[in-house]
């Protein structure tokens, strides 16, 4: 019996020769399982078939195939060498792409060298940040430190808040709106039409009725329309998404006016406000004229992204809410010994370390300086654009400069501008210097001279997007 197992094992090419329990049947494992290639997708000459990018179709034009190692790969070292070369090329392209990046609100300027020693560990803060699990390889002590910092920023006491570090801004919005729905199961969701798409995704996922509210030209919520929409559903509580910096125009909803509108419409005690502060949630506290985001006001939750203004290798975010709401969310969870109040189960334990490291190094004062720099550079950019006859808008509390969409997709892709309809934007983050902005504007001016040289094509009118006062098209200049 033992002999036959040994033979099987040799066939199975197992490295180890530890003794085996008698009841183990090695025929239970398949001898050589490499699944057949289902769909070649390659021409005979080894070149990939080029497929068009079609909405709703599966596209594989540039993917890096995972291939099965050859038997002698470990000996020859060929595979290692080939992978190293793929990674080196990839690193080079990342360097280049990082250099020419203006359109997304990501601070690409960080140095986490001191943390690279931790990449060897599988760090997982599964479940609640405040309740330890038996899994010991976690970073809760850092996570709670970061949460305390944000709770202090938004003025909520340590024993009155609950929160966690999320995977991205969307998870913050999904969580905030879910908390709102659990507090008011019959509530209607109100959000301005310029809210992030994750807000409308939440409504659909959670099967909530949703009212889209109009916006002003700045991108802020139109509280007159909000009042009208509220009056349609006076019998149901209200759950409101308030934007602290919209995605496209960087507009900040007037939180105080939203609250006033709710109270005047008779919703006192029957509303829940989630503040989506993806980008500006961390900038606003340092801007004098900004409506203050504070739990001293009747708000329910605030979320902010960690990979945006702070900067982080991977997306992450912070969600802070009132502890009393979490107790509501966690009732009825009989199947768990602990409370289950996060959207995700296993949670990235590295993100808290990155945030903790940056917050500790920069402090509130460091962020304040960076906010000043960003606002100043954004003003500089707006000034350079308008001097060159390019219509542009910059909201007072924002570092997002909105202007006409460039006519050339290649230019847009090179500078990684985010576009919507006739407009594009640059979000001035701490890593965007005056030099970089000058390079960008100079190239844009040069290109425009080509695009519009014969007078056949004309710069688009953007009055309906950013207002007549900001438009410099033929009609409005």
Contact 283, 249 (CB under 8 A): no
338 is catalytic: no
Calpha distance 411→449 (Å, rounded):
14
The residue (of 172 and 459) whose beta carbon lies closer to its own copies is: 172
Contact 194, 212 (CB under 8 A): no
Shortest Cβ 454–its own copies spacing (Å): 28
Q: How many residues does the chain have?
A: 477
Stretch 232-261 residues interacting with its own copies (CB under 8 A)? none
Contact 425, 401 (CB under 8 A): yes
49 touching its own copies, by CB under 8 A = no
Shortest Cβ 162–its own copies spacing (Å): 6
55 touching its own copies, by CB under 8 A = yes
- Please choose, out of 152-160, 213-221, 256-264, 459-467, the segment that lies near its own copies by the rule CB under 8 A: 152-160
Q: Which residues of 136-157 are buried (b: 16+ CB within 10 A; e: fewer)?
A: eebbbebbbebbebbbebbebe
The residue (of 268 and 360) whose beta carbon lies closer to its own copies is: 360
Shortest Cβ 199–its own copies spacing (Å): 10
- Looking at residue 59, the DSSP 8-state letter turns out to be -
271 touching its own copies, by CB under 8 A = no
The residue (of 191 and 262) whose beta carbon lies closer to its own copies is: 191
Parallel, antiparallel, or unpaired for β 418-420 and 423-427?
Answer: antiparallel
| Residue 25 token pair | 């049947």
45 touching its own copies, by CB under 8 A = no
Contact 186, 207 (CB under 8 A): no
275 touching its own copies, by CB under 8 A = no
The residue (of 259 and 316) whose beta carbon lies closer to its own copies is: 316
Q: What number of other Cβ atoms are within 10 A of residue 60's Cβ? A: 13
Calpha distance 293→285 (Å, rounded):
7
- 194 CA to centre of own chain: 16
Shortest Cβ 1–its own copies spacing (Å): 15
411 touching its own copies, by CB under 8 A = no
- Please choose, out of 62-70, 216-224, 235-243, 465-473, the segment that lies near its own copies by the rule CB under 8 A: 62-70
Nearest partner of 278 among 239, 235, 307, judged by Cα? 307
Compute how many residues bind its own copies; rule: CB under 8 A: 177
DSSP letter string over 389-402? Answer: T--EEE-TT--EEE
The active-site residue, picked from 195, 398, 399, 464, is 398
Stretch 302-361 residues interacting with its own copies (CB under 8 A)? 305, 307, 311-315, 323, 326-327, 330, 332-333, 335-340, 343-351, 356-357, 359-361
Shortest Cβ 419–its own copies spacing (Å): 7
Stretch 447-476 residues interacting with its own copies (CB under 8 A)? none
Q: Which of 206, 388, 408, 422 binds its own copies (CB under 8 A)?
A: 206
Stretch 216-235 residues interacting with its own copies (CB under 8 A)? none
| Residue 196 token pair | 């992030």
410 touching its own copies, by CB under 8 A = no
Burial of 422 (0-12, 13-18, 19+ CB in 10 A): middle
Nearest partner of 171 among 343, 2, 337, 341, judged by Cα? 343
Q: Which of 6, 11, 48, 157 binds its own copies (CB under 8 A)?
A: 157
Q: What number of other Cβ atoms are within 10 A of residue 274's Cβ? A: 28
Q: Which of 123, 179, 183, 423 binds its own copies (CB under 8 A)?
A: 123
Shortest Cβ 394–its own copies spacing (Å): 10
Nearest partner of 147 among 291, 13, 347, 423, judged by Cα? 347
In the stretch 185-204, what mask flags binding to its own copies with x, by CB under 8 A? -----------xxx-xx--x
As annotated, the active-site residues are 398
């Amino acid at each position: 019996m033992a002999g036959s197992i040994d033979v099987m094992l040799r066939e199975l090419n197992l490295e180890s020769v530890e003794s085996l329990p008698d009841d183990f049947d090695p025929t239970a494992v398949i001898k050589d399982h490499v699944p057949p290639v289902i769909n070649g997708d390659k021409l005979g000459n080894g070149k990939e078939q080029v497929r068009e990018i079609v909405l709703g179709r599966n596209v594989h034009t540039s993917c890096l195939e995972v291939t099965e190692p050859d038997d002698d790969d470990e000996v020859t070292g060929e595979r290692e060498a080939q992978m190293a070369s793929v990674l080196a090329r990839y690193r080079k392209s990342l360097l280049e792409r990082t250099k020419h990046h203006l359109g997304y609100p990501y601070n690409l300027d960080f140095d986490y060298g001191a943390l690279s020693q931790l990449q060897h560990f599988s760090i997982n803060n599964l479940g609640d940040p405040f309740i330890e699990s038996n899994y010991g390889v976690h970073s809760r002590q850092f996570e709670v430190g970061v949460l305390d910092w944000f709770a202090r920023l938004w003025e909520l006491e340590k024993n009155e808040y609950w929160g966690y570090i999320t995977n991205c801004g969307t998870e913050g919005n999904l969580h905030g709106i879910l908390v709102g729905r659990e507090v008011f199961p019959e509530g209607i969701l109100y959000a301005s039409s310029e809210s992030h798409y994750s807000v409308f995704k939440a409504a659909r996922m959670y099967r909530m009725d949703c009212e889209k509210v109009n916006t002003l030209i700045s991108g802020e919520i139109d509280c007159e329309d909000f009042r009208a929409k509220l009056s349609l559903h006076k019998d149901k509580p209200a759950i409101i998404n308030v934007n602290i910096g919209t995605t496209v125009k960087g507009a900040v909803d007037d939180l105080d006016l939203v609250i006033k509108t709710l109270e005047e419409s008779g919703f006192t005690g029957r509303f829940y406000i989630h503040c989506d502060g993806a980008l500006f949630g961390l900038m606003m506290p340092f801007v004098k004229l900004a409506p203050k985001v504070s739990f001293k006001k009747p708000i329910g939750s605030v979320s902010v992204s960690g990979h945006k203004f702070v900067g982080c290798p991977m997306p992450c975010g912070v969600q802070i809410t009132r502890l009393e709401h979490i107790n509501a969310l966690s009732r009825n969870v009989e199947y768990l010994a602990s409370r289950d109040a996060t959207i995700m189960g296993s949670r990235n334990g590295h993100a808290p370390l990155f945030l903790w490291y940056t917050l500790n190094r920069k402090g509130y004062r460091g962020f304040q300086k960076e906010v000043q720099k960003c606002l100043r550079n954004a003003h500089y950019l707006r000034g350079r654009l308008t001097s060159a006859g390019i219509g542009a808008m910059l909201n007072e509390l924002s570092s997002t400069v909105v202007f006409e969409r460039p006519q050339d997709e290649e230019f847009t892709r090179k500078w990684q501008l985010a576009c919507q309809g006739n407009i594009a934007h640059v979000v001035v983050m701490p890593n965007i210097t005056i030099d970089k902005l000058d390079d960008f504007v100079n190239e844009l001016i040069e290109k425009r001279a080509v695009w519009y040289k014969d007078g056949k094509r004309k710069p688009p009118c953007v009055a309906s997007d950013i207002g007549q006062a900001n438009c410099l098209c033929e009609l409005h200049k």
